[in-house]
Amino acid sequence: MSESETETAAGIGDAAAERHKAKMAKRKAVQDAEVASKTIEKGLLLVHTGPGKGKSTAAFGLALRMLGHGHRVGVVQFVKGAWETGERRALGAFGDRVAWYSMGEGFTWETQDLRRDVAAAERAWEQVEALMADPTIALLVLDELNIALRYDYLALDRVVAALAGRRPDLHVVVTGRNAKPALTDVADLVTEFTLVRHPFAAGVKAQAGIEF
């Protein structure tokens, strides 16, 4: 029986398996060397932005990962706060290992009050500063901070300086559309969430467990 017939009969022939093994061994050597060359350990500033769904969801996934390693997490929500969410209920089960503050009063088209929105953002930022100074917090989620910055509820220079000057071991993840270039310029990781299709456009309402 020829090699090609053996491959067809067995699904994957011995020769194909050996070629794959050799290829993966070379790839593993390259990957291992790449990983070994990375020696820096530091607190990261991560920015989740873009029009696609999942920015906050990904941030709360990081929070869960950090909790899994036994660390404390802080969450400050800008804009959001007028409704109960599944992630808040779930992370609330961790007790004082999660410091959660929903400081917003709803989106700007809901409040329709600039002074009120600015005041809420200022209160939220004061809470951020307190959590940044808490050495027991390993990860800080600043949910929808990008929205507060977009509408100038907070001074951009002040926020960027504070985040850039945070203590060396603190990880911070910022979410929200339209991240300011001044923020992304100092971030260690920036992820753009791209919208391809959303059920809302087809008339599907926001549903518990998916949107909140």
Tell me the percentage of the chain whose pLDDT exceeds 90: 67
For 131, other C-beta atoms within 10 Å of its C-beta total: 21
Cβ proximity of 167 and 201 under 8 Å = no
Please list the residues that pair with 153 across neighbouring strands: none
Tell whether 125 and 96 lie within a shared domain: yes
What lies within 8 Å, CB to CB, of 45 at 6+ separation is 163, 164, 166, 171, 172, 174, 186, 187, 188, 189
Instruction: Please give the tally of structural domains in the chain.
Output: 2
Asked whether residue 11 is domain-assigned, the answer is yes
Tell whether 87 and 120 lie within a shared domain: yes
pLDDT at 22: 87
Tell whether 70 and 24 lie within a shared domain: no
pLDDT at 108: 54
Tell whether 104 and 19 lie within a shared domain: no
Alpha carbons 95 and 208: distance in angstroms, whole number: 23
Q: Is 1 exposed, middle or buried (0-12, 13-18, 19+ CB in 10 A)?
A: exposed
pLDDT at 14: 87
Q: Looking at residues 133-150, what average pLDDT do you find?
A: 97
Asked whether residue 209 is domain-assigned, the answer is no
Which range marks the domain in which residue 7 is found? Answer: 3-36
Structure confidence by residue, pLDDT tens digits, 64-103: 999 999 999 999 999 876 678 899 999 999 999 999 999 8
Flag whether pLDDT at 9 surpasses 70: no
**What's this model's pTM, rounded to 2 decimal places?**
0.83
Asked whether residue 70 is domain-assigned, the answer is yes
Q: Looking at residues 13-32, what average pLDDT do you find?
A: 88
- In this structure, the chain runs to a length of 212
Tell whether 58 and 96 lie within a shared domain: yes
Asked whether residue 210 is domain-assigned, the answer is no
Kindly give the pairing relationship between strand 98-102 and strand 137-143: unpaired
Structure confidence by residue, pLDDT tens digits, 50-67: 999 999 999 999 999 999
Tell whether 14 and 83 lie within a shared domain: no
Structure confidence by residue, pLDDT tens digits, 162-175: 999 999 999 999 99
